[in-house]
Amino acid sequence: MKHNYFLLIISILLSACLLSNVFCDMTAEEILKKVAEQGFKESFRAALTIKTFKGKKPPTTQALWVCGKLKGDQADFFFDFDEPKESRGLRFLLQTGPGQAPKIFMYLPATQKTISVVTDDPSSDIGGTGLNTDDILGFVPNPKEKYSIAGEEKVGGQNCWIIKIIRPGDKAERLIWVSKQDFTVVKSQDMDASKKIHRTYRVVEFFKTEDGREFPREEEITMPKKNIRILVRQENAVFGVELANALFDPKRFGTYKWKD
C-alpha cells in the first residue's frame, strides 16, 4: 500500500513537471494564438454601461448594446447607442477576419447615412467609448507584428505571462498580461516611443458562463496624459442567441429595427 502511495506521488510530480515544461516552452506567438482561440465562440448580446471620468468634471454615462456574431473565422460586432439622448441611434459595425485589418462602419442618425471609418490600427477608439478593437476581441493577430515574452507577473490573483508587441513601422509598444490558467487578457498597456504609458486596460471583475468560461464583467481604462478614467460595466449578457443577419450588413445595420 505504501509502495502504491509512493508511486502515486511520483506520478503527480512528473505530471506537474511535464505540464510546467509545456507552458514554459510556449512562444509568445503560441500564447497569443491561444488567446485568439479563447475568444467568443458563439453569438451573444450584451448591454454595457460606460462611465467616463475626466479631471474634476462630472462623469458622463453612455449606455449601449453590443451584439457579436461568429461564422467560421469571421467575427462581426454591432454597437447600438441608447444614452445619452444626443447619441441615441448612433450605430457601429465592426467586421474582422483572419489576415485582414478590421472594417468599421458608422451610421449617423442625424444624416441617416452610413460611412466607412478608415483605420488599420486595432487601438483606435470605437465611437468615443474608450474601447478599441483589441478590448473587444482580446487580441487581434497581425502577421507583421513582432512578439516576445517580456516576463511573468501576478495580476488580480492570476499568474500571467507578459507579452510584448511591437507594431510595424512604430517605435511604440504594447504589453499584454495573459492568464496562464485560461489564456484570457487581464491587462494591457500601450506605451509611446519614449516608453511612457498612455493607456492601460485591466479587467477588475470577471463572470463565469454556465460552461465555466470567464468573461469580463467590469473593465477599467485609464489614459494618464488626458487625465481620463473609464469604467465599462456589462449589465447582462445572453450567449448562443439568434441574431438577424441585417445587424451585420453594412447596408442595413443602421436602420434595421432589431428591438421591435
CATH code for position 199: 2.50.20.10
Evaluate if residue 254 carries a pLDDT over 70: yes
pLDDT value at position 121? Answer: 58
The grid cell for 178 is: 495573459
Give a yes or no: residue 199 inside a domain.
yes
Give a yes or no: residue 255 inside a domain.
no
Percent of the chain with pLDDT over 90: 37
CB 40 within 8 Å of CB 138: no
Give a yes or no: residue 234 inside a domain.
yes
How many CA atoms, within 13 angstroms, populate the side-chain half-sphere of residue 163? 30
Evaluate if residue 210 carries a pLDDT over 80: no
| pLDDT, mean over the chain | 80
Count of structural domains within the chain = 1
Q: How far apart are CA 221 and CA 228, in angstroms?
A: 8
pLDDT value at position 33? Answer: 81
Q: How far apart are CA 190 and CA 34, in angstroms?
A: 21
Containing structural domain, residue 68: 28-248
Give a yes or no: residue 19 inside a domain.
no
Give a yes or no: residue 219 inside a domain.
yes
Amino acid at 84: P
Give a yes or no: residue 79 inside a domain.
yes
72-125 pLDDT per residue, tens = 677 889 999 999 898 899 999 988 776 677 788 999 999 999 998 866 555 566
Among the ranges 11-20, 40-49, 205-214, which has the highest mean pLDDT value? 40-49
Instruction: Indicate the DSSP class of residue 125.
Output: B
Q: How far apart are CA 102 and CA 165, in angstroms?
A: 18
Report helix, strand or coil for 99.
Answer: coil
Give a yes or no: residue 221 inside a domain.
yes
Give a yes or no: residue 143 inside a domain.
yes
